[in-house]
Every structure is written in structure tokens, then in C-alpha cells.
A and B are shown apart, each in its own frame.
Chain A
Amino acid sequence: MIGPGFPELLAAAQSEDEQAFAVLWRELQPAVLRYFQVVAAQAAEDLAADTWVSVIGGLGRFRGGERAFRAWVFTVARHRAIDWRRQAARRPTDSVPAERLSERPAPDDPIAQVLEGQSTRAALALVAELPPDQAEVVALRVLGGLEVAEVARIVSKRPGTVRVLAHRGLRRLAQRVEAAGLLGGVTR
């Protein structure tokens, strides 16, 4: 979070101050990119760039604080992901429908990478293996730093549903990690 300096920074960015916008971008870009690595891994970089084009276009009309800004950026991001999925579903050359991507096993063993190497990409790959709605909610909460109510608005679900999905997702991840039999040595 940028904190108390956010309003000034936003105002500067809205007044065409490139450096100010760069600060906003650096603050959020990693989270946006990681969100896409969970929900649309094949196109993450492109979708993140598309998201920023949209954000730039709407920046001048944005009003709100930092939390609202984050929520807005992720709202835009989610729409890019939905567009992409829709497009992927139409693409005949796509041998694996986007909806099923999460069921594909990761090429390597991401659990070992996470536990041993603290690999961000591996961790995201594990989250991406969750059922899509769980993966998205976990991504928005953990990566986006968004609260339950904010996520609920973004995904158009009830806050209670969002909470349950996030908990299920985390528990599934925990079981996945434990089932790998690596947990004992690492956590105890």
C-alpha cells in the first residue's frame, strides 16, 4: 500500500505526471501480473499490459482512495481475464479449453519449489490448480490485497460465498502441500 501519499500521487498522475503514474504502476503491477498468472496463465503478461491500457484510459475520471483504486484495477483485470477466456473458448486451435487449464498438472512439482525455493511462480501455479472460482477469490484476496467485501463486489458474489471459497481454496492448498509429504520436514 502506498498509504497517506496516495491522493497526492493519484492527483499528480491524473495531471499527466509520468513519474507519479510509474509509482502507482510499480505498486500494483506485480499483483496484477500474478493475478493473471493464476487465472489466465498463458496470457498473463499481455493481459496485464491490456489492463494498464484500460487503467490509463480511465485514470482521469477515477475518483477515490487507494483501496478503491486497487479494487478498480482488479475489476478491470478481471474483465480482461473474462474476455480472454471467452476468446480462448472460441479458438479452435486451443486444444485445452481455458476452463480446464486449472485441472492440468503443473509440469514440475511446484510444491517442492514453493517449500524449498520460495518460488513465486510455483506458488501461483499451485493456486491456479484450484477450482477456478476458488483460485480467483484466493488470488484477489492474497495477491490483490482486497477485502472480502471488495472481492465480493468484483466477482459479483455474496461476501459469505467469497469467504467460503477463499477458505476452501486455502484448505485445499494446505492439503495439497501436506499430501506431498514434504510438510513435516519443513514446518516442524
Chain B
Amino acid sequence: MTDDDAFGPDMHPPLGFPEAALPAEDQDILEQLLEGRLDPASAPPGYGGLARLVAAATAPATPEELADEHLVMAEFRAAMRSHPPTLVPRRTAVPRKVFTMKAAAAALVAVLSLGGVAAAATGLLPDQASPVAEQATGTTGADAAAHGLGKAATADLGGSANAGSAAGQGRASAVGPDASGTAQAGLCRAWQAGQGADHGSRMDSVAFQALVEAAGGADNIAAYCEDVAAGSGADAHRQSQASPPSGSAPPTSVTPPSSGPPADPGPPASTGPGGHGPGTPPTTTG
């Protein structure tokens, strides 16, 4: 699903004045509003109501909005206990507390609905995943797996909330193929097949987030898959994980606008730090 699909194209042209007709000073006012720099009391005529609306939307936090703090902190403690950030090697670090019973149930659904593919994809037997996954991609299986797994994962958003992020490791190893393992070839093939087409939805799916993670970001998938195709495989990839570039350019593909190839519509940042194990040599290699 592309972004436009997800949120709908703008089917409603602006009522009244078209964009071009909006004077520069009005655009300035709108920018001030967007940046929260316009006090309703000093808003120019015609913008008072809008300024009040923005002020209301950005009012200080209410106690209700912070009511979940103890829950989130409990999650934090649990995750830290089971997944000390600096001690556990990345590939084996599974935040078990995060991988809740719900996530387990989701994985089970995946197994039941997808049989061998899902079983292999659970990552329980990463080395055995490849034949099945590759076979699956020979047909449209990988897609089915991706979608099916995506469904299974989203069926539980408590535990697998990690989709695309690092707790995502729990998730990725639980319901998504281990894209840095031997399933990579199949995922790469599926990804390449989808380039230019339904790319957005592929990038969103659980399976492809695993690929994003393995590649070290959506921007790197093309290069990563070339490596895979060339047979350099996971070893080359693991070396690349320790490479300085990804270390200096944090998981936040969000940050440096220049680093994003315009051709990639995917949500690279989605995997952010999570999918970006490769971007964290300090913790994995140090």
C-alpha cells in the first residue's frame, strides 16, 4: 500500500482560494501557526479562530494523557532486564518480555496458516529457513508469507508493536523471516520483483521489514540484495554492519534528508533504530 493508498489522495480541492492565490504573508502566517509561533491574541484578522484551534491542540499535557506512565515504565524495565542494550549480541537479543503471549499467539497463527513457510520463517531454525523461503518465493509464496505474516503480526499489536523496530528483533525472529540469514535470497527476489510496483506495501510488511533490518535500512536494500545475488551473502553483510558509515549515520534515516534516495518511497525510518541493527556497531562490536 502506498502512502496515498494508506491515507487517501486529496480528493477535495481546497474550498475557495487556490494555493497560488494565497499571498506570501498569509503563507507566513500559516507557517507560524504550524510551528506554534503565533499567539492567538496577536493573530491577524481572519486567523484568530485557527490560532485558537492550534493552541488548543498543542495545550500542555493533561494527567489523562500521562496516565499510562506506569505501564510504559514497566515495559521499559522488562525490556531492559531481558535485553540489556550493551551486553547482548544483537542477533541473539530477543526481548522476551516484549515477545508476549500475544506475539506467541500471532506466531502460532502464522504457523497454522502458512505451514512450512511460516515455521521456517519463525526463525526458530534460521538455517533451515532458506530452502523453504526460497521455494516460496519461486511462486508467489513469499508474498503470501509476507502478507500472512504481516496479518499475524498486526493481529497483535501489543507485542508485535515492534514491527519495524527493534523490539522488532523479537518480532522479526518470531514471525518474520530472518532476512539476514539464509532466507535473504528469497526476500531479495521478492523485493526486486516488487520494485516500482507495490513497493510501499512491501516495505510495510513484516517480512520486508526484516529485509530492511538485514540490509541496514530501506535505502540499502538494493545494494544489499545485489550482494546477496552475488553470493557474498550474510557474511559480507555482517561485515558491513560494522562499517563506519552506518555507525556515523545513526538508525535515523529520518535525520539526514540528503541520505534518502528520492527513488525510494519506502518508510526507511520505520525500522529506525530497530531495523537498524547494522547502524549500531558500538553496541554490537564494541
- Residues on A with beta carbons closer than 8 Å to the beta carbon of B223: none
Most chain A CB inside 10 Å of its own CB: which residue of B12, B47, B260, B269: B269
Q: Does B53 contact A (CB under 8 A)?
A: yes
Across the A-B interface, the 4 shortest Cβ-Cβ residue pairs: A57-B167, A187-B48, A63-B250, A60-B85
- Check if A175 sits within 8 Å of B251, measured CB to CB: no
- Check if B34 sits within 8 Å of A58, measured CB to CB: no
Q: Which residues of A contact B (CB under 8 A)?
A: 14-16, 18, 21-22, 25-26, 29-30, 33-34, 39, 45-65, 67-69, 71-72, 75-76, 78-80, 82-87, 90, 99, 111, 114-115, 118-120, 122-124, 126-127, 131-134, 136, 138, 141-143, 145, 149-150, 152-157, 164-168, 170-175, 177-178, 182-183, 186-188
Chain B nearest CB: distance from A89 CB in Å? 9
Taken residue by residue from 1 to 44, chain B's Cβ proximity to chain A (1 for < 8 Å, 0 otherwise) reads as 10110111111101111010010000100100111100000010
Instruction: For chain B, residues 79 to 97, give those with C-beta under 8 angstroms from any C-beta of chain A.
Output: 79-80, 83-86, 90, 95
- Check if A78 sits within 8 Å of B17, measured CB to CB: no
Q: Does B235 contact A (CB under 8 A)?
A: no
Q: Does B230 contact A (CB under 8 A)?
A: no
Chain B nearest CB: distance from A105 CB in Å? 15
A-B contact pairs, 24 of them (CB 8 A): A15-B86, A16-B80, A39-B7, A50-B161, A54-B167, A61-B251, A61-B273, A63-B280, A65-B255, A72-B251, A72-B252, A72-B272, A82-B204, A83-B204, A84-B154, A123-B53, A133-B9, A142-B33, A150-B254, A155-B7, A164-B19, A167-B19, A171-B17, A182-B49
Q: Does B266 contact A (CB under 8 A)?
A: yes
Instruction: For chain B, residues 57 to 115, give those with C-beta under 8 angstroms from any C-beta of chain A.
Output: 57-62, 65-66, 68-69, 71-73, 75-77, 79-80, 83-86, 90, 95, 98
In the bound complex, what is the Cα–Cα distance between A177 and B31 (angstroms)? 18
What is the chain A residue whose CB lies nearest that of B259? A153
B53's partner among A25, A33, A45, A173 (CB-CB below 8 A) is A173
A114's partner among B34, B52, B279 (CB-CB below 8 A) is B52
Chain A nearest CB: distance from B164 CB in Å? 5
In the bound complex, what is the Cα–Cα distance between A148 and B69 (angstroms)? 30
In the bound complex, what is the Cα–Cα distance between A79 and B163 (angstroms)? 8
- Check if B57 sits within 8 Å of A79, measured CB to CB: no
In the bound complex, what is the Cα–Cα distance between A131 and B15 (angstroms)? 12
- Residues on B with beta carbons closer than 8 Å to the beta carbon of A123: 53-54, 56-57
In the bound complex, what is the Cα–Cα distance between A99 and B4 (angstroms)? 11
What is the chain B residue whose CB lies nearest that of A157? B3
Chain B nearest CB: distance from A65 CB in Å? 8
Chain B nearest CB: distance from A101 CB in Å? 11
Chain B contact-residue range equals: 35 or more
Number of A-B contacts defined by CB within 8 Å? 310
- Check if B283 sits within 8 Å of A60, measured CB to CB: yes
- Check if A122 sits within 8 Å of B56, measured CB to CB: yes
A85's partner among B4, B6, B33, B53 (CB-CB below 8 A) is B6
Q: Does B168 contact A (CB under 8 A)?
A: yes
- Residues on B with beta carbons closer than 8 Å to the beta carbon of A68: 250, 252, 254-255
Q: Does B274 contact A (CB under 8 A)?
A: yes
What is the chain B residue whose CB lies nearest that of A27? B61
New contact pairs (5) apart from A48-B68, A61-B276, CB-CB < 8 Å: A21-B73, A54-B165, A65-B255, A172-B15, A186-B52
Most chain A CB inside 10 Å of its own CB: which residue of B33, B34, B90: B34
- Check if A26 sits within 8 Å of B279, measured CB to CB: no
- Check if B85 sits within 8 Å of A126, measured CB to CB: no
What is the chain A residue whose CB lies nearest that of B72? A52
What is the chain A residue whose CB lies nearest that of B43? A187
A142's partner among B14, B54, B86 (CB-CB below 8 A) is B54
Chain A nearest CB: distance from B243 CB in Å? 14
In the bound complex, what is the Cα–Cα distance between A132 and B69 (angstroms)? 29
In the bound complex, what is the Cα–Cα distance between A83 and B236 (angstroms)? 32
Chain B nearest CB: distance from A188 CB in Å? 7
